[in-house]
Amino acid sequence: MKILVTSVFVDDQQHALAFYTGVLRFVKRKDIPVGPFRWLTVASPELPDGVELLLEPSENPATQAFKRALREQGIPAAAFFVDDIAGEVARMKQQGVRFTMDPAPMGSTLMAVFDDSCGNLIQLNQIVKAA
């Protein structure tokens, strides 16, 4: 059994595509019309054949309530990993991304949290190698 797709609920799929490719630098993988929406996935260019991230619409009031509840508590909807968190954060801030938490040591990682402008908070981690 393999995990080939995971997902985040986004307020607007077109805007999400722009953010997730333009700012987070993922690449689009699938874009297939499904009723009023799209099966829209992105993935990391760093991992060929890696897991795809489905940018799922959050039209359903249940998902909206879920997102709001997570949001209120500051809980991230997903976590992505980078090699240089300081560099990434600086670059993203220059592109206007709002961080709710600047990079800070957390266990064996450096962790930050940002707003993906699609209704979610996203966690960013850099694994710190033990000395």
Partner 1 sequence: MALIVLALIVLAAIVSANSLKRNQKVTYNASMDVDLLFKALADPTRRALVEELATRDGQTLFELYTRMIMRRNSTMTRQGFSKHLALLERAGLLRIEWGGREKRHFLDRTPLEQLQRSWLPAVLVTGNPAT
Applying CB under 8 A, the residues found at the interface with partner 1 are: 68, 71-76, 98, 100-101, 106-107, 111, 113, 115, 121
Instruction: State whether residue 59 is helix, strand or coil.
Output: coil
Nearer to partner 1, 43 or 110 (CB): 110
Q: d(Cα 36, Cα 3) in Å, to the nearest integer?
A: 26
How many beta carbons lie within 10 A of that of residue 65, not counting itself? 11
Minimum CB–partner distance for residue 15 and partner 1 (Å): 16
Minimum CB–partner distance for residue 92 and partner 1 (Å): 17
Dihedral-angle region of residue 72 (phi above 0 means left; psi in -120 to 50 means alpha; beta otherwise): alpha
Nearer to partner 1, 95 or 108 (CB): 108
Minimum CB–partner distance for residue 75 and partner 1 (Å): 5
Nearer to partner 1, 15 or 71 (CB): 71
Nearer to partner 1, 49 or 72 (CB): 72
Yes or no: say if 111 and 104 are a contact pair by the CB < 8 Å rule. Answer: yes
Q: d(Cα 43, Cα 55) in Å, to the nearest integer?
A: 11
Scanning 1-131, the segments in alpha helix (DSSP H) are 13-22, 61-73, 85-94
Minimum CB–partner distance for residue 54 and partner 1 (Å): 23
